[in-house]
Chains A and B, each alone.
Chain A
Amino acid sequence: MLWLWDNLDLVLRLTADHVRLSIIPIVVGFIVCIPFGWLANRYTVARTILLTLGGVLFSIPSLALFVTLPALLGTRILDEANVVVALSIYAIAVMVRGAADAFSSVSRDVISSSTAVGFSAVSRFWTVEFPLAGPVLLASLRVVSVSTVSLLSVGSLIGVQSLGYLFINGYQRDFPEEILIGIVFTVIVAVLFDTILVLVGRLLMPWTRATPRRRSVTSAAAPVTA
């Protein structure tokens, strides 16, 4: 633990980098997947193409992608952009299936009755389909968030600063404590992101926690019997 106190500045700086670099792919994955998911749910052809593409992209090894992107994007080999773009691609690849499932999870009855009472296609999407797809979207976003935070460490191999540096440095110096601290802080970041997502979800989707009445009756009755 002494090592941590002596190097707190370094660890905190790496943690901040880690947070900063993983937020972008998560946000990009979420935003890009909304239209993709909608398309995939709407058209069978789009679904086949997008989901296959997602599967293929996700199967590319991350290190290979990190080192190929500079050639494709015209970036320098050490640019953060390489890692951010690569992780965004993974985020989209993982998220597109979840987004398609999210939109197909919305009840056809609700969509049809919304049309029947006079929602236009656009207002129906934003006020009915999108919020009702929310719980399933959130579930895949949580997977994306965790996988992005963990994949980002690999970026350290090509010199992009993140908590992954502690793994490489610790390994090179044969110093397990540094590796352990890298793991602990990566987990802290992942858990922090996940908690934020869950809390935001509760805030934005209060109906998902609306318990059936009989459950609240039993919980109200419990103290009386106890």
Chain B
Amino acid sequence: MIEFHSVTKRFPDGTLAVEDFSLVLPSRKTTVFVGSSGCGKTTLLRMINRMIDPSSGSIEIDGVDIASGSAVALRRSIGYVMQNSGLLPHRRVIDNIATVPLLKGVKKADAHTQAMELLDTVGLDRALAYRYPSQLSGGQQQRVGVARGLAVNPNILLMDEPFGAVDPIVRDDLQQELLRLQHDLDKTVVFVTHDIDEAFLLGDQVVILEKGAQIAQVGTPKEILANPASDFVASFIGADRGKRRLAVDSTVARSGDDVVLVDGAGYVAGVIEAPGGVLPGSGVGVGTNSRARSVSNKTDQAGDA
């Protein structure tokens, strides 16, 4: 469990990045900080492993103030994955994954054996172990980044827009992979993104942030979608534009068993199965939340590209 107690961060240039932020991040759940650029979400994340120290307030992990120990030891106990992987370009993949265990004094042979297993865990071929990061694709590099983050078997995994720089198809893949990993490994994941769909897909707890890391709303994706707390939230999640409210488009001639869904603005959002022209479930009740969401996710990501 990670707790923020009235945390404020003012940078030397006077920017107030985080103002009086308090929140509990439950253990073994994924908490996603989502907001526009400059809202302070990355600052919040980087305060958890003391890359940035708060100006006031405190952060506790499982009841222990993180400022009480050494920053280096704290960082070695927390997995960290960033955009553009942050891998060491001069080390082979296997040594990159084994970086932190080696720093902690694990024997090289043991660290390498474990690194090989981690390649399996993140779905990479072991043959890639002796390549340099520059010889991998962007998606593969991110997987190695995740493997490195997992190498010390941390309880906490910090992910700073890890899938922000890969193309939508690879991102989709990596997101699914992370969901699978999280299902198997049960880490406390703190994830930062500016993509609301990514937040809803991955988050157990989603925290929507305004400037100065002010919490606009915190809750499960379902709670937020069903009851946006403010106009800001409604606009941020796209509810005000009717983007989330899908309807069957009756003007398009149906062929086969699928019918076309359109959003509030009339743009095509996707298709839904309707064998024999009848929607599954209660006729016109198009899309339970999850169904409608997964349909709209696809189009949003294609739009980002």
Contact = CB atoms under 8 A, between A and B. Distances in A.
Interface of A: 107, 109-110, 112-120, 123, 128, 131-132, 134, 205, 207, 210-213
B88 A212 contact: no
A132 B76 contact: no
Contact of A210 (B84, B100, B103, B135): B135
A210 B132 contact: yes
A123 B75 CA distance: 14
Nearest to B76: A118
Interface of B: 46, 49, 51, 72-73, 75-76, 80, 82, 84-91, 99-100, 103, 131-132, 134-135, 148-149, 158
22 contacts: A109-B82, A113-B85, A113-B86, A114-B88, A115-B75, A116-B46, A116-B49, A116-B51, A116-B80, A116-B82, A116-B86, A116-B158, A117-B80, A117-B100, A117-B149, A118-B76, A118-B103, A205-B90, A207-B134, A210-B134, A210-B135, A212-B135
B76 A117 contact: yes
B166 to A, nearest CB: 15
Contact of B103 (A107, A113, A123, A212): A123
B82 A113 contact: yes
A205 to B, nearest CB: 7
Contact of A132 (B86, B89, B100): B89
A110 B245 CA distance: 43
Contacts of B76: 117-118
A128 B102 CA distance: 14
Contacts of A116: 46, 49, 51, 75, 80, 82, 86, 158
Nearest to A208: B90
B25 to A, nearest CB: 18
